Amino acid sequence: MDSTTWKPQPSDYLDALVHQNPWHGLGNVPEALARPTKRHLAQCLWQVLVESPLRFQLVLGPRRVGKTVALYQTAQQIIDSGVSPKRVWFMRMDHPLLHHYPLGSWAKALVRRENATAESPLYLLLDELNYAKNWDLWLKTFYDEQWPIRIAATSSSVAALRDRQVESGIGRWTEQFLTPYNFDEYLRLHNQDLSMPAVTSLHATLRAAVQRETPLPNLAASRTLYAVVGGFPELLLQHDGLPLEEALLRSQQTLRSEAVQRVTGMDLPQTFQIREPIILERLLYLLAGQMCGQMGVSNLATTLEITKATVLQYISYLERAFLIFTLPPYAGSEEAIQRRGRKVYFVDGAVRNAALDRGLACISDTAERGFLIENLAASHLYGLSLQTGSRLFHWREKKLEVDFVYDDPAEPVGVEVTSSARHTLKGIKAFYAKHPRFVGKCFLVSSESSIRRLPEDDPDQIGRLPLDDFLLAVSTQTSRALSIRLGVS
C-alpha cells in the first residue's frame, strides 16, 4: 500500500519558481529581500551582467556573508536598468522541487516561456548553485552553445569544489569572492559614510589617508562591536542596539553553530570524505589558540595524533572554507619563500572567538584585544589581496618582525600593527634595510594613537596612521580593486 500523502503536481513546479520571484507581479524586489544598503559587489554585479556579459559570474564566500541578498539586490538593479522584471529569474537551487529536473531543463523552459533572445536575454540568478547536479557542465553548455541567458550564481566556497570540472570554467565564468563586511561596509550599514577616495595603489591610498584634512570621529566603540560580533550583516543588524556584552555572546552562539560546527562537522566532511570530523573541529580550536602566531605543524600533529601531511591537508580545507588563511614568510623572491613559519589568521576574528568559546574574554583581556586588532588588519589586507592578486606575507628574522608585507609589484607596503604609540621600530628598520624596495613604504598602524605622518616626514622614514584610518583606506582600496577586476566604473 502506497503511504505517500502528497506528490507534486506539474503546477507545483512552476509555483515553486513563481513564489521565488515576487517582482514578476510587484514590479520590484521587496525591500525585505533586497536591503537598501548594498555591498560594493552588489553595486557592480548588475553592470557586468547587463553591459559586459562576457562571462558568467560565480560568487563564492563563507556562510552568512550576504551572498543571497547580493543576488536580490542585483535583481533589483537589473530591473532599474530597464529590463522587464519577468526576464529576471531567481532560482534557489536547494529547493526540493527543483531537484527533480536538470538545470538545463529549467533554463530551457524559462527561455521558451519568456521568448528570450540574444537581444533580450534571460537573467538567471542561481542561489546555492552547487545543489544543481552537473552545474559546471551545464554552465559550460550554456556558454559554448550561446544560450540567450546571463548568469550570476552563488555557492559556499567549499561546496563549489565538489565534483568540479576545473577546465569547464576557464574562460566561461569568473569567480568573485565575498568576504565578511570590511570596516567601511560596516559603517555604511549603520549610515556612516566615512570612506575616502581610493587612488592607484594601497601605498598611494595610505598616503592620502595620512593627508586627509578632516580627522575621523572617535570610532573605537563601533570598531569594538564590529570586531567581536563579526562582519556578518544578519548578525550586525540583529544585535544593533544591544549592550556590547549581550551582542558578543549572541554572536558567538550563532557563529559556533553556523560557522564552526556546521562547516567542520558537515560541510567539509561531506565534501572531502573526512571520517572523524571531531579532529577537524579540534584542529580549528587549536589554530584559534595560535591566531596571529606561527603554526606549529609538528605540535599540532602530535596533539591530534595524526600525520603532519594530514594536518596540512586539513588546514587547506579550512582555508578553502574561508575560515582561516595563512601567511608565508617574506623572502624577497619566489624561490626563497618557505612553507615553514607560516602565521595563521581568521577571515573573521569573531569566528575565532566562537571556536574558542571564550565568552567575554576578548573584550576584557588586553592580550585578546591585541590579537583581534592584528587580525582585523590582516583580514582587511587579505580581502584586498583576493581582488588584486598581490601576495600577502609576514617577515621575521630572529626576534625582529614586521606583521604584514603587501607585495604589490610596483608599490609594496610594509605594515606593523600595535596598540601602543611607543612600539619599537627595530623590526621595520631591519626589514627595509634588508629589502630596500620598502624604504619609505612602511607604516606603523596604532589603535591607541592619533598620529598621522608621511614616511618622508619621519626621521626613520616610517609613516604613522591610526588603525581606523588604515582599515578605511584598505576597505576603499578593496572596492576600487573589485571595480577594476569586474571592469566597471
pLDDT at 114 over 90: yes
- Residue 223 to residues 218, 227, 468: CA-CA distances in angstroms? 10, 6, 8
Percent of the chain clearing pLDDT 90 (strictly above): 75
Residues near 140 by beta carbon (within 8 Å), at least 6 away in sequence: 165, 168, 169, 172
What pLDDT is recorded for position 165? 58
Q: Could you tell me whether strands 324-327 and 343-346 are parallel, antiparallel, or unpaired per DSSP bridges?
A: antiparallel
What pLDDT is recorded for position 359? 86
What pLDDT is recorded for position 466? 97
With beta carbons less than 8 A apart as the criterion, state whether 321 and 268 touch: yes
Residue with the bigger pLDDT between 185 and 239: it is 185
What pLDDT is recorded for position 281? 95
Distance CA 3, CA 292 (A): 57
Distance CA 240, CA 199 (A): 33
Enter the C-alpha cell of residue 17.
Answer: 519558481
Report field, pTM of the whole predicted structure over 0.85: yes
pLDDT at 199 over 60: yes
pLDDT digits (tens, 9 = 90+) for 438-447: 999 999 999 9
With beta carbons less than 8 A apart as the criterion, state whether 443 and 402 touch: no
Is residue 338 very low, low, confident or very high in pLDDT (cuts 50, 70, 90)?
A: low
Question: Between the CA atoms of 365, 366, 371 and 375, what dihedral angle is there, to the nearest 10 degrees?
Answer: 100
What pLDDT is recorded for position 358? 83
- To the nearest 10 degrees (0 to 180), the angle between helices 67-80 and 40-51 is 50
Distance CA 151, CA 43 (A): 16
Residue with the bigger pLDDT between 131 and 81: it is 81
Q: Where are the domains of the chain?
A: 10-178, 184-486
With beta carbons less than 8 A apart as the criterion, state whether 71 and 129 touch: no
Q: What is the mean pLDDT of residues 40-60?
A: 92
What pLDDT is recorded for position 198? 84
pLDDT at 1 over 60: no
**pLDDT mean across residues, the chain:** 92
Q: Indicate the CATH number for domain 10-178.
A: 3.40.50.300
Q: What is the DSSP letter of 261?
A: I
- To the nearest 10 degrees (0 to 180), the angle between helices 308-320 and 277-289 is 80
Q: Tell me the three state secondary structure of residue 118.
A: coil
Is residue 70 very low, low, confident or very high in pLDDT (cuts 50, 70, 90)?
A: very high
Distance CA 416, CA 424 (A): 10
What pLDDT is recorded for position 153? 97
What pLDDT is recorded for position 242? 86
Amino acid at 206: L
With beta carbons less than 8 A apart as the criterion, state whether 403 and 396 touch: no
CB neighbours of residue 400 within 10 Å: 15
pLDDT digits (tens, 9 = 90+) for 352-403: 999 998 888 888 888 889 999 999 999 999 999 999 999 999 999 999 999 9
Residues near 129 by beta carbon (within 8 Å), at least 6 away in sequence: 58, 93, 135, 153, 154, 155, 160
Residues near 100 by beta carbon (within 8 Å), at least 6 away in sequence: 8, 13
What pLDDT is recorded for position 268? 92
Is residue 307 very low, low, confident or very high in pLDDT (cuts 50, 70, 90)?
A: very high
Cβ burial of 388 (10 Å; 0-12, 13-18, 19+) is: buried
Cβ burial of 352 (10 Å; 0-12, 13-18, 19+) is: buried
What pLDDT is recorded for position 315? 97
What pLDDT is recorded for position 163? 52
What pLDDT is recorded for position 13? 81
With beta carbons less than 8 A apart as the criterion, state whether 58 and 153 touch: yes
